[in-house]
Amino acid sequence: MPPSLTLVVAATSRDLGIGAAHGLPWRLPPDMAFFKAVTLGAGTATGGRRNAVLMGRTTYASIPPRFRPLADRINVVLSRSADADASLSSAPDTHVFSSFPSALEYLDSRSDAGDVFVVGGGQIYDQALRLDCTKRVLLTYVSEASPSTPPIVCDTFLPDFRVGNLGAWVRRDAASLHAYLASIGAEAAQALVPADASPREHNGLQYEFTLWERE
């Protein structure tokens, strides 16, 4: 049985832009902190289980070398290249698969695997959104906070799952977002989300944490 998948993604509110020139189009530390707290969750504190992060080879390569593999999480990288397999698989708890089903089968076989988070990029989000086992999207909306903020320019986008062609998705309220974060033991992430989940600003950017669920 494939694990239940949750996408964790930050995207522009305007057109769901997520990337530029193989990197992130912004520097937004509060969202990085949220990402870390969510994907770590309760970590090994609960029954020795480790959460997993599932990503494409391009996204893995975009993580600064000193931060990869992402610590204390099972890192699963999708690549069709034998070279990537050889070079990445030697990193601690990092596993390369040449197809989505084989990656999910592997995670299902790991009795120590906790929650599974799909963390990008565009190709991998697109494929994950087409799978019935993808149940949730933690979406951080990002936008320019004022006319003086340089425009955010993107070349990679999240498919617009909100419009109905990728199943029926509903945006949950702030209480549901908090309840979900508590349910996965991500109290550190909860602490970053205002009680009413209203937008906040940082360095000229506005950001807003949202939770979407498949109906």
Q: 69: which DSSP letter? A: S
199 binds ligand NAP (CB under 6 A): no
Q: Nearer Cβ to ligand NAP, position 4 or 99?
A: 99
Peptide bond into 23 cis (omega under 30): no
C-beta of residue 42 within 8 angstroms of C-beta of residue 115: no
Q: Which of 30, 50, 62, 188 binds ligand NAP (CB under 6 A)?
A: 62
3 binds ligand NAP (CB under 6 A): no
Q: Nearer Cβ to ligand NAP, position 21 or 191?
A: 21
168 Cβ neighbours under 8 A, 6+ residues apart: 214, 215
78 binds ligand NAP (CB under 6 A): yes
Question: Residue 145 to residues 43, 153, 197: CA-CA distances in angstroms?
Answer: 34, 15, 17
Q: Nearer Cβ to ligand NAP, position 3 or 122?
A: 122
Q: Which of 123, 143, 149, 176 binds ligand NAP (CB under 6 A)?
A: 123
Tokens matching residue 119? 């963390």
Query: Residue 99: what residue type?
Result: S
Tokens matching residue 136? 């949730």
Only one of the segments 119-127, 165-173, 184-192, 201-209 lies at the binding site for ligand NAP (rule: CB under 6 A); that segment is 119-127
Nearest approach, Cβ of 77 to ligand NAP (angstroms)? 8
Backbone angles phi, psi at 8, to 5 degrees: -120, 120
Tokens matching residue 117? 């988070």
Window 143 to 182, contacts with ligand NAP (CB under 6 A) = 156
C-beta of residue 148 within 8 angstroms of C-beta of residue 171: no
56 binds ligand NAP (CB under 6 A): yes
C-beta of residue 197 within 8 angstroms of C-beta of residue 208: yes
19 binds ligand NAP (CB under 6 A): yes
14 binds ligand NAP (CB under 6 A): no
User: If binding means CB under 6 A, how many residues of this protein chain bind ligand NAP?
Assistant: 30
Pairing of strands 134-144, 156-157: unpaired
Only one of the segments 37-45, 58-66, 174-182, 194-202 lies at the binding site for ligand NAP (rule: CB under 6 A); that segment is 58-66
122 binds ligand NAP (CB under 6 A): yes
Which residues would be at the binding site for ligand NAP (CB under 6 A)? Answer: 9-11, 18-19, 22-24, 55-59, 62, 78-81, 84, 98-100, 119-124, 127, 156
